[in-house]
Amino acid sequence: MNCRRTVGFLLMIGLALCGCSGIQSPSNAAWIAQPEFVEVDNHLLTARITPQKGEYPYYAFFLLTLTNKSSADLIVDWNASRYLFNGRPQGVLVFEGIDPAAVKNARVPSETVAPGAVFTLEIMPMRLIAWSPIKENTAGDRSISAGMLPVGENGIHLAVRHENGHITIPLSVRIFREGSP
């Protein structure tokens, strides 16, 4: 019986020490993105992603800015665009107001960007989000909640169609916590 108490006591001390060990949680770390944004600029378009924290202490989504420099429409193909983690595709991208059924069936409507127009949208990896239950959906409430972009190379593989074909644009930044390599 005394052995059980001793083991229990030692276990409690060990847990207390682990709790005070300084292991960083997302909320007590300084999150850094390098570079602060990444941009591709060519004769058709300028595409930029900027990692954003929003209301979170960590990076949770990207602000995509797409400027159409051509004389024809550009079409963003969300069904072919992907989240990139450490250079590898890791699933689709989502945004506020997206229909979960459209995502599931790969039928997310494309976005048309007219000549000379600037398109901006907050996008996030679907694999890192939480959907709000239908019963909680009310006007003004968010239907998705962004998750934490992990330490490493994070970005997007943007698929864009134009009158002469299509292009894919990889854009990535490195996210890390202060003090980590």
For the stretch 143-152, pLDDT in tens is: 778 889 999 9
Secondary element (H or E) of residue 37: none
Q: Which amino acid is at 116?
A: G
142: its two tokens: 């968010």
Using one digit for the tens of pLDDT, what is the confidence trace for 68-104?
999 999 999 999 999 999 999 999 999 998 888 899 9
Low-confidence ranges of the chain (pLDDT < 50): 15-24, 136-142
Which residue, 99, 27, 95, is CA-closest to 61?
95
Domain with residues 29-177, CATH architecture: Sandwich (2.60)
- Helix then strand count (H, E) for the chain reads 2, 14
Which residue from 37, 157, 146 is spatially nearest to 87, judged by alpha carbons?
Answer: 157
Q: Tell me the pTM.
A: 0.78
Query: Where is 88: in which H helix or E strand?
Result: strand 88-89
Note the pLDDT of residue 37: 95
